[in-house]
């Protein structure tokens, strides 16, 4: 078998640029502290407007210390981490590769405050493996590569992935990792539905690498100058509302400000439209109920209306030392749910 040495010497086999800097960590808190100082591979897609999780405006305020939602590990993330090793070693066995964990945090040697974490590294190939594939050929041509594991729900894969193409934010993540690590290739491995691996290769794209260095540099320049990016008010609405949830300042007289006047009028209009729409929706519901009576389902062409009963929830009686009042509870009601096929 052929094996690359792990650690700092690993990147000596790559000729594209100088080695990045490696930073070890022992706890999640140490890892979070390292990544908070940089734009990481999971964040850089926000700088292109491609992240489904965070906008550039929100990322700016997070990095300057006005973070609203701190990092929380979900059950899905926990199980993803637990299954990561099994997926990595299983794929390595299927494709005649040698893989090992690559858990150091890495920083770009040339672009300040650009870093990345990694899953695994393809560090070698099994020489007596029966067969050949593109990943073994990439290792022979370019040396070690990155192995990026994605545990993907089947429905999510069908909606957001294509054959040998990840969603845009993951494609950016992969190129960011290659740029930071000074490597030539990645094996992207989505495990779909828990039982089907669909790996494909990505080569380093120097144009994307250049664009990443540029947007990261510009982002930190904005922070240095104290000039936040223009918000996307539709996507950033909840974040901005939380950011400005406190009041108590002076009265602001905006008389004569056409922009404020226009926004106030539109806000009032949308409120009235919403109220009218809610009233009309209730009226339509009442008219439908008058027509369908006690039917639990109505089929009309490609539309299906479910009108089943939601069971009543009795109130909870608190103990006598808590005054003895009843709290909670809910009367049963007709649950309306309209499904339109083909939309």
How many helices (H) does the chain have, and how many strands (E)? 9, 15
Q: How far is CA 314 from CA 46, 325, 329, in A?
A: 47, 13, 5
Percent with pLDDT over 70 in the chain: 83
- pLDDT value at position 1? 42
Does residue 231 carry a pLDDT above 50?
A: yes
- Higher pLDDT, residue 27 or 67: 27
Domains of the chain: 2-225 (3.90.320.10), 282-343 (no CATH)
Q: What is the mean pLDDT of the chain?
A: 86
Least confidently predicted of 212-216, 269-273, 328-332: 328-332
Q: How far is CA 57 from CA 46, 163, 224, 238, in A?
A: 9, 32, 15, 12
Q: How many CB atoms lie within 10 A of CB 192?
A: 18
Does residue 293 carry a pLDDT above 80?
A: yes
- The Cβ-side half-sphere exposure at 328, using a 13 Å CA radius, reads 7
Q: Where are the alpha helices (DSSP H) in 42-74?
A: 56-63
- pLDDT value at position 314? 76
Does residue 61 carry a pLDDT above 90?
A: yes
* Residue whose token pair is 């070698």: 124
* Residue whose token pair is 């519901």: 285
User: Which residues, at least 6 apart from 119, have a Cβ–Cβ distance to it below 8 Å?
Assistant: 84, 88, 101, 102, 146, 147, 148, 149
Buried b (16+ CB within 10 A) or exposed e, 230-268: ebeeebbeebbeeeeeeeeeeeeeeeeeeeeeeeeeeee
Q: Quote the CA–CA distance of 93 and 66 in Å, as a whole number.
A: 45
- pLDDT value at position 14? 45
Does residue 181 carry a pLDDT above 60?
A: yes
Q: Quote the CA–CA distance of 58 and 243 in Å, as a whole number.
A: 10
* Residue whose token pair is 């305020």: 61
**Helix, strand, or coil (residue 170):** helix
pTM: 0.76
Q: Quote the CA–CA distance of 174 and 334 in Å, as a whole number.
A: 49
Q: Quote the CA–CA distance of 55 and 169 in Å, as a whole number.
A: 12
- pLDDT value at position 246? 75
Does residue 285 carry a pLDDT above 60?
A: yes
Over residues 86-125, the pLDDT tens digits come to 999 999 999 999 999 998 999 999 999 999 999 999 999 9
Segment holding 273, helix H or strand E? helix 258-292
CA angle, residues 171, 172, 175, in degrees to nearest 5? 90
Percent with pLDDT over 90 in the chain: 60
**Helix, strand, or coil (residue 201):** strand
- pLDDT value at position 20? 86
């Amino acid at each position: 078998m052929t094996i690359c040495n792990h650690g700092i010497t690993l990147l000596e086999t790559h000729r594209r640029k100088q080695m990045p800097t490696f930073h070890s960590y022992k706890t999640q808190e140490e890892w979070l502290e390292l990544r908070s100082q940089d734009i990481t591979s999971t964040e850089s897609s926000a700088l292109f407007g491609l992240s489904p999780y965070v906008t550039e405006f929100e990322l700016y305020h997070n990095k300057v210390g006005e973070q609203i939602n701190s990092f929380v590990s979900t059950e899905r993330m926990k199980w993803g981490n637990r299954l990561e090793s099994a997926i990595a070693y299983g794929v390595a066995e299927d494709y005649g590769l040698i893989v090992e964990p690559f858990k150091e945090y890495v920083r770009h040697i040339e672009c300040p405050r650009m870093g990345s974490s990694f899953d695994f590294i393809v560090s070698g190939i099994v020489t007596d493996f029966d067969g050949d594939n593109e990943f073994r050929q990439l290792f022979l041509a370019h040396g070690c590569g990155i192995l990026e594991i994605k545990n993907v729900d089947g429905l999510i894969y069908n909606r957001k992935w294509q054959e040998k193409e990840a969603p845009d934010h993951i494609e950016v993540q992969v190129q960011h990792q290659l740029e930071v690590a000074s490597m030539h290739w990645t094996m992207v491995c989505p495990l779909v539905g828990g039982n089907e691996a669909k790996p494909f290769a990505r080569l380093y794209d120097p144009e994307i690498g250049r664009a990443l260095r540029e947007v990261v540099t510009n982002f930190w320049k904005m922070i240095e100058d104290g000039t936040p990016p223009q918000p996307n008010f539709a996507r950033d609405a909840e974040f901005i509302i939380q950011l400005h949830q406190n009041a108590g300042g002076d009265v602001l007289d905006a008389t004569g400000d056409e922009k404020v006047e226009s926004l106030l009028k539109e806000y009032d209009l949308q409120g009235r439209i919403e109220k009218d729409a809610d009233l009309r929706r209730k009226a339509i519901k009442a008219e439908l109920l008058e027509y369908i009576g006690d039917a639990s389902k109505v089929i009309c062409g490609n539309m299906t209306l479910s009108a089943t009963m939601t069971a009543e929830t009795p109130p909870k009686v608190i103990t006598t030392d808590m005054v003895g009042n009843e709290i909670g509870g809910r009367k049963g009601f007709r649950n309306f749910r309209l499904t339109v096929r083909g939309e």
